[in-house]
Amino acid sequence: MLLWPWIFLGIVYAKKGIQMDNHLSKAVINHPHTTNFFVTLIASVVCMFVDILFSFAVIRFAQEWIANNEKITVFDVSVISGLRHQTLPWNIKDIKKLLVSNRVVPVFLVGICIGAFSLIPSAVTSLLTPVPFKKNSTLQGVELDLSSSDCFNWLATHPISNNCDWGVSYTRIILQNDSLITAWW
């Protein structure tokens, strides 16, 4: 449960980000507060879902463990309670007394669990929040001979639009009075 955000981050990082389509990216750019709200809401729901699943897993583990052990101490029950509720079941004064040889690992396990679960909302939010980035690609092509009058007429009647917001530039050649006029867009 604690590794899946890092696996997702590795996949996204390896792909150098996941690109949105134009409609969704315009909505994100035009409404950043709404986007932040929904991303944080999704992160909170994911955190709640992970907390519930982890709590069920701790309960199931505790049932099996208690059924197979004859000696269960109050400390064991407090560790299970701390893991289930992701809280420290001990006071700060009691923690010094708990740091003895056979109780150090369970106390640190509860502390690490609390720390890891407190990072889930911010980690999911940082993974899902869209950020602008520039993506460059090489453009290769072959030069076309547009010297025929049919090509000039076609270009004059079919304007080329750039709806993609790409940094594409092209040249339109207009034949006017037997002289060439070059226009850059």
Instruction: Give the model confidence (pLDDT) of 115-124 as tens digits.
Output: 888 888 887 8
Rg of the chain taking only CA atoms, in angstroms: 31
Strand partners, 172: 183
Q: CB within 8 A of 135, min separation 6: which ones?
A: 16, 17, 19
Q: What pLDDT score was predicted for residue 41?
A: 92
Over residues 84-113, the mean pLDDT reads 83
Q: What pLDDT score was predicted for residue 144?
A: 59
Sign of CA dihedral 145, 147, 150, 154: positive
Tell me: pLDDT of 135 over 70. Answer: no
Instruction: Give the model confidence (pLDDT) of 156-173 as tens digits.
Output: 777 666 555 555 455 555
Q: What pLDDT score was predicted for residue 185?
A: 38
- How far is 128 from 169, CA to CA, in rounded Å? 33
